[in-house]
Chains A and B, each alone.
Chain A
Amino acid sequence: MPQGVKPDNRGRLWLLYGAYYVAAIAIGIVVGLAVVAFAGGNVGLALSTLLTGPITTPAGIQQIFVRFIILCLIGLGVGLALKAGIWNIGGQGQMIIGMVMVFVVTTYLHFLTSTFLFLTIIAAAALGGLAWIVVPVVLKTKVGANEIVVTLLLNIVASNFGLYMINGPIRGPQSFGYPITATLPLNLRIPLTFGVPVVVAVGIALYLLVERTSFNLEANTIGESAVTAKYAGVGVTRVTAITMLVAGALAGLAGAFLVMGYLYHLDAGQFSTNYGLLAIIVALLGRKSMLGITVASLLFAYITIGVEEMAVVTGVQSSIEFAMEGIMLIAVLFASYLIDRSKLR
């Protein structure tokens, strides 16, 4: 809840957020439909597929939940770091390392018993994501290097590293020379009944950490000004390191969920997604609040899958998704500007 709002205005404020953000997303959809029309596609079909497509098939519903889990995990980490004024643009890279770690474990530790293997994979993915953000953390806290440029760079490194791994060390035995991993056996796949509670648990844990400890105050102080925070006795290095490491681990975990809950294998195409940036949209749309991010993740999971199905039925290139997400992000930011300017504050 934003500071300085009169209690009796809070309900109206949330309503206002809702209205502006829905309008922002609608703008993105309208632009997407205009592109469909320009490309000679059927606009009516496009709109109906976008809005109702995802829930008409069981596979679609499965995909919504998996994407919700991914966006929520990365988004919560991004939101947490954002509270301290830190931009984790590297969610994509951390997630890719998590995805790769799944198959590193299944390739090299396949002799473990099923349950233990399962837990090892989850832990390895989270640790992989965490390890991937260690360099930005060290460079930021020791050298003062800007985390944005470092995490951006590591995204490119991660996708190249992933390509290398599926070309060699974790290539599947029956890949016939193609860069593709083996398919995960049934006992290593995550049923949704497991994934959703994990996200809820993570969300609650972060909520408690952020809203119910002095962490919120510390992070916000750093977010306002690191210099002030230092004078106020806030452990800037500690808070910075913790938020970034948590964000990295959550993104790595998201990678494991993506592989174990939906993809079940890895090929080159899996590295050219943009979940890391999508998670930033989600974190901003959720106004950095843990509950807001959760709701925004579900919304964006639905919309992006709707857009993908729309692209399939209309024959428009699927990268229209990125264009629409870009417009939605601009519109969401613009909506935030209008809200902050409005008289309710």
Chain B
Amino acid sequence: MTVALSLVITGVFYTTLSLSPLILFACMGEIIAEKSGVADLGIEGIMLMSAFVTFAIDILSRSPWLGILAGVSVGVAMGAFYGYLAIGVYLDQIASGLSLYLFGLGFSYVLFVVLSNKYAGTFPNFINIGTIYVPGISALPIIGRVLFQQNVLVYVALALVPTTAYFLQRTRIGLQIRAVGENPRAADTMGINVKRVRFEAILIGTFLAALAGAYFEIGYLQTFQFDIIMGRGFVALVMVYFSNWNPYKALVAALGFEAVNATQSEIVSLAGPSLQLSSTLFNILPYLFVLALIPIMGRRARAPKYMLVPYKKS
């Protein structure tokens, strides 16, 4: 019994950590972008495109690193285009973000089917990047499996949280990003190029969102389907909001979401056929967890003052 229980606990925590980079990368990227005053509702679409390209290039070139590079490049290209729309020609950020999502949702799957037809449905093996086994401690019970046998990008994602906080609070460019999000006119008077800083923030943000999509392929899924990101990009947007644009709170929220999700899927698979009917009901639990947090954590949320407001020099 105790062995079974420890296996379950290990499974839940392991899944929680190995899925968390998906939301974490996207979340940190979106925090940086929104701090500059530009929200990107299209990160789900960027993640989908990046995930597909990573998958495709990985199996075509037999190199996971090339896959990540290509996936992230496509994501950043979409981000640059979005930056032009939102910053360059002042298009509505919500609507153009959603258009990016629609595009990524449809286009990634159309291309996947083209690729799939080319291989007549049986793809060559997907090449992964290795799991890191931290010497010694990775053999520890439970903790060893959960903490020290993860994909390298999991550690990168976790390290990104304090890095983002430091970047925004302590670096020059971070200060500029916050300045153009809070008061672009004053920032402009101080000699900051508002549009350029916002554009850089969007590029960083979409780079990280694209990395999330690439990680999903390389570190977790290793295949592709329609709508494969399953709304994690949208969840990241929600997390950014009620973490009050605080990277540490976003980390807690993201881990909480994935923990609830891992727990429910563990329960469903343990209960077996008797519960299969309502497994879809269990799928709702993590989203209800997020909804329940909104009135608690979202009450004090205060968006960057000039978020969604384009900056036009008068």
| A residues adjacent to B (C-beta < 8 A) | 35, 38-39, 87, 89, 135, 139, 142-146, 148-150, 152-157, 160-161, 163-164, 167-168, 272, 274, 277, 280, 284, 316-317, 319-327, 329-330, 333-334, 337
Contacts and interface: CB of A to CB of B under 8 A. Distances in A.
A322 B287 contact: no
Contacts of A145: 241-242, 294-295, 298, 301
A333 B106 contact: no
B99 A326 contact: yes
13 contacts: A143-B295, A145-B242, A149-B237, A149-B241, A153-B287, A160-B280, A164-B284, A272-B227, A319-B226, A321-B106, A322-B105, A326-B100, A329-B99
B284 A161 contact: yes
Given A322-B103, A322-B106, A329 B287 contact: no
A156 B287 contact: yes
B113 interface: yes
A24 to B, nearest CB: 11
A30 to B, nearest CB: 14
A144 B284 contact: no
B51 to A, nearest CB: 15
A333 B95 contact: yes
B103 A327 contact: yes
Contact of A329 (B98, B104, B105, B226): B98
Interface in B202-237: 226-227, 231, 234-235, 237
A152 B234 contact: yes
Interface stretch (B12-20, B86-94, B149-157, B158-166): B86-94
A9 B227 CA distance: 46
B114 A274 contact: no
A319 B110 CA distance: 6
Contact of A337 (B91, B283, B294, B298): B91
Given A35-B110, A150-B294, A319-B109, A330 B96 contact: yes
Contact of A139 (B107, B237, B288, B294): B294
A139 B298 contact: yes
B102 interface: yes
B155 to A, nearest CB: 29
B41 interface: yes
A96 B155 CA distance: 39
Nearest to A329: B99
The 8 closest A-B pairs by CB, nearest first: A322-B106, A326-B103, A323-B106, A326-B102, A329-B99, A317-B113, A323-B107, A164-B280
A320 B102 CA distance: 10
A248 to B, nearest CB: 16
Interface residues of B, number: 50
B105 A327 contact: no
Q: Which of B91, B94, B242, B294 has the largest count of A CB atoms less than 10 A from its CB?
A: B294
A54 to B, nearest CB: 19
Nearest to A272: B227
A165 to B, nearest CB: 9
Contacts of A330: 85, 91, 96, 99-100, 103
Nearest to A163: B280
A156 B112 CA distance: 23
Interface string B272-314: 0000011011011001101100110011010100000000000
A152 to B, nearest CB: 5
B45 interface: yes
B101 interface: yes
B80 interface: no
A324 B113 CA distance: 16
A334 B95 CA distance: 11
Contacts of A284: 92, 95
Contacts of A321: 106
Contacts of B100: 326, 330
Contacts of B242: 145
Contact of A89 (B98, B110, B226, B299): B98
A20 to B, nearest CB: 14
A144 B106 contact: no
A261 to B, nearest CB: 25
B59 interface: no
Nearest to A158: B284
Interface in B112-169: 112-114
A167 B280 contact: yes
Contacts of A89: 94, 98
Contacts of B99: 325-327, 329-330, 333
Contacts of B278: 164, 167-168
A135 B291 contact: yes
B298 A317 contact: no
Nearest to A268: B280
A313 B110 CA distance: 15
A89 B102 CA distance: 13
Contacts of B237: 149, 152
Contacts of A152: 234, 237-238
A228 to B, nearest CB: 15
